[in-house]
């Protein structure tokens, strides 16, 4: 018997010699492969992550653009609504304008246009809403509208309203309120009589004959017959985009002949 090899018999059944194997070496069983540990390699993980990232970006991109478009549409709608409401309120106050002959309460329109349309409008009205709860109640208020630089963004402009009761004591400061931001212009024109041309500056009693609301010291009307209001709002689109514009023409009942 050879040392180091093992066999129970030199010959197996059938007369063929038995195969000798080294001691301690086991032959793998037939029908089974050597075991292999399951898992992913680093390259497989990186490729999977890259594919997931591409799919995620493709799905999120259109969704993000949809949200951005929706936000722009909502902002434009809000601006248009604010613009319309502001014009409606000023028009309502003008329709309720009353003729007063005092220097600080009479109708006055001044054209202060420089690089953008800028009008200053003052008149007395029965239709003004109180700007603050503590403001004294008065059937007639003197209101004034003008544009000025935005204190929060000096490069932009706001429409400001000042309001003071007609019976307020001398030296009483008016209530002030910003009624619209992002204003690109405020243009007001008047027709002293329906047949006259539009004027950008006008004061009560400046011209024409006494009528409707009575005459001023100069013999002219205390209220114009028609007022044209136009508000321009900055466009949030490209820098060269035209401003949004909305206008209204108001007939003053007490200014008609």
Q: Is residue 57 part of a domain?
A: no
Q: Is residue 98 part of a domain?
A: yes
Q: Is residue 108 part of a domain?
A: yes
Name the average pLDDT for the chain. Answer: 79
- Give the three-state DSSP class for 80: helix
The lowest-confidence range among 10-14, 161-165, 208-212 is 208-212
Size of the chain in residues: 257
User: Residue 1: which pLDDT band, with cuts at 50, 70 and 90?
Assistant: very low
Q: Is residue 10 part of a domain?
A: no
The predicted model gives 170-181 an average pLDDT of 90
> Does residue 226 or residue 206 have the better pLDDT?
226
Structural domain of residue 161, as residue ranges? 71-255
Q: Is residue 22 part of a domain?
A: no
Total domains, the chain: 1
**Is the pTM value of this prediction over 0.75?**
no
Q: Is residue 213 part of a domain?
A: yes
The predicted model gives 223-252 an average pLDDT of 87
Distance, in Å, from the CA atom of 176 to the CA atom of 161, rounded to the nearest integer, reads 6
pLDDT for 57 beyond 60:
yes
Q: Is residue 165 part of a domain?
A: yes
- Give the three-state DSSP class for 129: coil
User: Residue 210: which pLDDT band, with cuts at 50, 70 and 90?
Assistant: very low
Distance, in Å, from the CA atom of 191 to the CA atom of 176, rounded to the nearest integer, reads 28
């Amino acid at each position: 018997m050879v040392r180091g090899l093992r066999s129970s018999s030199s010959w197996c059944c059938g007369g063929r010699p038995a195969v000798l194997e080294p001691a301690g070496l086991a032959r793998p069983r037939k029908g089974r492969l050597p075991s292999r540990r399951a898992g992913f390699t680093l390259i497989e993980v990186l490729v999977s992550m890259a594919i997931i990232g591409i799919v995620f970006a493709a799905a999120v991109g259109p969704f993000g653009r949809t949200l951005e478009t929706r936000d722009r549409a909502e902002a434009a709608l809000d601006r248009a609504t604010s613009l319309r409401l502001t014009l409606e309120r000023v028009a309502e106050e003008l329709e309720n304008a009353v003729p007063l002959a005092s220097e600080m309460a009479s109708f006055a329109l001044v054209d202060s246009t420089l690089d953008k349309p800028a009008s200053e409008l003052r008149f007395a009205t029965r239709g003004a809403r109180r700007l603050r709860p503590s403001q004294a109640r008065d059937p007639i208020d003197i209101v004034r509208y003008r544009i000025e630089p935005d204190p929060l963004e000096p490069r932009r402009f706001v429409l400001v309203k000042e309001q003071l009761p007609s019976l307020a004591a001398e030296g009483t400061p008016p209530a002030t309120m910003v009624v619209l931001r992002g204003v690109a212009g405020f243009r007001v024109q008047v027709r002293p009589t329906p047949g006259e041309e539009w004027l950008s500056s006008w004061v009560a009693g400046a011209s024409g004959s006494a009528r409707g609301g009575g005459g001023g010291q100069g013999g002219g009307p205390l209220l114009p017959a028609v007022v044209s209001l136009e508000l321009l709002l900055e466009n949030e689109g490209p820098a060269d985009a035209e401003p949004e514009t909305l206008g209204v023409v108001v007939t003053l009942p007490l200014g008609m002949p």
